[in-house]
Amino acid sequence: MTTKVLLDCDTGCDDTLAILYAALHPNIELVGIGAVWGNVTADIAARNSAHTVAMLGKSHIPVAKGAEGPITGRPAEFAYHVHGDDGQGTVGDKKFVARLAAESAAAQIVRLTRADPGEIELIAVGPMTNIALALALEPELPRLVRGITIMGGAALAPGNVTPAAEANIWCDPEAAAAVFNAPWRLRMVGLDVTMRTLLTEADRQQLLNSDGSIARYVGRMLDFYFAFFTQNAFGERSSCMHDALAVAIGADILVPTLAPKVSVVVDTSDGPARGQTICDLRGQYRGYPEQDGAHCEVILESDPGFARHVVAAVCAAGNSALTDGVSAL
Ligand code: BDR
Ligand code: CA
């Protein structure tokens, strides 16, 4: 079974892997990509997304640029220290020139879902600004999509920007609140599972030693990303695989082993819990009985070995279709 996926990302290192995984998987039809601010500017995110599909020879997948900052107009903060100045671990292809869609990412979401009602899984792996803008443009959006899956939030795990908040929610809590409150089936792939789905140095060496230039590019890109996680999280060379995990779960390729459907509230206060996803897990002692009106599936457990599938897919991707830059490396 093939799932149509519309991906919205702030394309840094792990988003790049998510795009590669989605574009390569035989059971996914990637119908479009939206670029949002977050790890990097929306301009850089759009360029990196376009570059990623161009390496695969799939530039027919439209990439639309979206929001440049939070929906409230508060200042944007970026994560260059995690993903590098270019969002590609500082090894990005400087020669690449991106050709982007003429519409905004929010307009693209509305157009594609109106044209194919009930068929497209929206998968958002950056701040949720573009999705909130699309909801404002088309209030029927929850009925037009198959469902939405987000990488973001944390139910029981600590945050990764503040003690309470995960980055994608922290960047734009008001947009995230609009997304969580909309009446659609929402899957939350948060830090509870993504902090346990790791790429190892052995994976990176496998990428670097691959016959294909795309895998070697990814192996080089991950060097910078690994340095961040070594110093700030794990104490050894490795990284999380946040965004690709959301793609696999959103497209029903990876079925989580524990995902209760519960109510979730996003903290939009200016207190210490700003950006927290407060998940009602009080039913855990009774096997999570149904909660009235709950529509969020909070992923609490999934296969921690999932990263091996992504590495295998990227290693099998072959050589870049670009005639200069990446393919020459
Ligand atoms: C999320 O924040 C970004 O840095 C990553 O790309 C991921 O989407 C993890 O908190
Ligand atoms: Ca991301």
Burial of 206 (0-12, 13-18, 19+ CB in 10 A): middle
Per-residue pLDDT, averaged over 61-89, amounts to 98
Q: Which residue among 37, 151, 277 is best mutated to probe the pocket of ligand 1, counting the most ligand atoms within 8 A of its Cβ?
A: 151
Ligand nearest to the CA of 78: 1
Which pLDDT value is given to residue 324? 61
Query: Does some domain include residue 54?
Result: yes
> What are the tens digits of pLDDT across the range 150-193?
999 999 999 999 999 999 999 999 999 999 999 999 999 999 99
Burial of 309 (0-12, 13-18, 19+ CB in 10 A): middle
- Is residue 325 predicted with pLDDT exceeding 70? no
> What are the tens digits of pLDDT across the range 278-299?
999 999 999 999 999 999 999 9
| Atom 10 of ligand 1, residue of closest alpha carbon | 167
Please indicate whether residue 218 or residue 325 has the higher confidence score (pLDDT): 218
- Is residue 328 predicted with pLDDT exceeding 70? no
Residue 142: give its domain's CATH number: 3.90.245.10
- Is residue 25 predicted with pLDDT exceeding 70? yes
Cα 232 off chain centre by: 21
Cα 292 off chain centre by: 29
Average pLDDT, the chain: 97
Whether residue 51 lies in the annotated active site:
no
Which pLDDT value is given to residue 323? 76
Give the atom of ligand 1 at the shortest distance from the alpha carbon of 126.
8
Query: Does some domain include residue 329?
Result: no
- Provide the 10 A C-beta neighbour count for residue 274: 17
Query: Does some domain include residue 98?
Result: yes
Query: Does some domain include residue 196?
Result: yes
Domain count, the chain: 1
CB of 224 within 8 A of CB of 83?
A: yes
User: Band of the pLDDT at 265, cuts 50, 70, 90?
Assistant: very high
**C-alpha of residue 300 to centroid of ligand 2, in Å:** 19
- Is residue 105 predicted with pLDDT exceeding 80? yes
User: Band of the pLDDT at 326, cuts 50, 70, 90?
Assistant: very low
Query: Does some domain include residue 144?
Result: yes
Give me the sign of the Cα torsion angle 26, 28, 32, 38. Answer: negative
> What are the tens digits of pLDDT across the range 112-151?
999 999 999 999 999 999 999 999 999 999 999 999 999 9
- Is residue 108 predicted with pLDDT exceeding 60? yes
Query: Does some domain include residue 310?
Result: yes
- From the CB of 203, is ligand 1 less than 6 Å away? no
Domain assignment of residue 11, given as a range: 3-316
